Chains A and B, each alone.
Chain A
Amino acid sequence: MNFTLERTWGVLVLLTIGTALIAHFFPEGTGVVVGIMTLAGIKFLLVAFQFIEIKKAHGFWKASLIFYVVLMVLLSFTAG
């Protein structure tokens, strides 16, 4: 379990730095928005499933969080 928590934290930090670098080097474009928000969605689910341990909860809670984040990511594609 410890290894999973540590590895999750490492992946989250790497994804955060990666997202900032993408935004810095590719300032415009629909693909960039898709990439940045998809990475944000992956980070959201990593925190929910690994840190909050929603992975151990009833399927309703997993499905609700996945639905929420997918909806937010899809709606973000309409931004700007």
Chain B
Amino acid sequence: MNSTPIQLSEENPDRSLAYPPGGLLIWIIIFLELITFGLGILALFYYGRQEPEAFREGTARLNRSMGTLNTIILLSSGYLMAKAVHYLKAGQSKKSFQWLLGTLGGGVLFTLIKGLEYKEKLAHEFSLGGNMFETLYWLMTGFHLIHVWVGMVILFVVAYPLRKSKAKINELDLEAGGAFWHMCDLIWLILFPALYLLY
């Protein structure tokens, strides 16, 4: 992965089909994930039509404030991630590392708030084995949370060498980690209204 450093210029990005930001492989993964979550969201819409009362009741039991707060946290950590990539491209690896720490902090905050939400749900018998809305809620938010954790591990591994001010890493590695992190944003931006707001 680190064999050939690729220097990407902000002024002259590679616009060819094989070089999306972060590289082709990460975008194959991103589209597979978007399609997988998309199918889950379609199941949500389908069963929402079959069992409208259960879905209305289920949505009413979700904590919209926590969901909104978590959306803002994810978007903010996405902003920090974009800044980290910007600073690495500008040759400021130490600064990039600091912004990456902020990004990881966003992931930790998201996890804590999600944990509080899960605790609240479990205390009120909102379980995986409940109705279809509850099952889809647990499966989709749980699967999304696992992606956030995987993103945090990827970013930590990529960021660790940057803690030294003269550190050099492959920009493409950070862009790929960033693209995976932003994918968690993209999924949540569709999942949040579909689960918390529509019914």
A-to-B contact residues, CB < 8 Å: 1-2, 5-6, 8-9, 12-13, 16-17, 19-20, 23-24, 33, 36-37, 39-40, 43-44, 47-48, 50-54, 56-58, 60-61, 64, 68-69, 71-72, 75-76, 78-80
Contacts and interface: CB of A to CB of B under 8 A. Distances in A.
Contacts of B190: 40, 44, 69, 72
A53 B21 contact: yes
- Secondary structure of the A side of the interface? helix
Given A5-B79, A52-B179, A57-B21, A72 B64 contact: no
Contacts of B107: none
B79 A9 contact: yes
B68 A16 contact: yes
B10 A58 contact: no
A59 to B, nearest CB: 8
Interface residues of B, number: 49
A48 B45 contact: no
A25 to B, nearest CB: 12
Contacts of B27: 61
Given A5-B83, A44-B189, A78-B45, A56 B182 contact: no
Interface string B25-42: 001000100100010011
A8 B52 contact: no
A6 B82 CA distance: 10
A6 B64 CA distance: 25
B128 interface: no
A44 B41 CA distance: 15
A76 B198 contact: yes
A36 B38 contact: no
Interface in B67-87: 68, 71-72, 75-76, 78-79, 81-83, 86
A1 B86 contact: yes
A9 B198 contact: no
Given A75-B42, A80-B49, A19 B197 contact: yes
B91 interface: no
B81 A43 contact: no
11 contacts: A12-B75, A20-B65, A44-B190, A47-B185, A47-B186, A51-B79, A51-B182, A53-B82, A54-B20, A79-B199, A80-B52
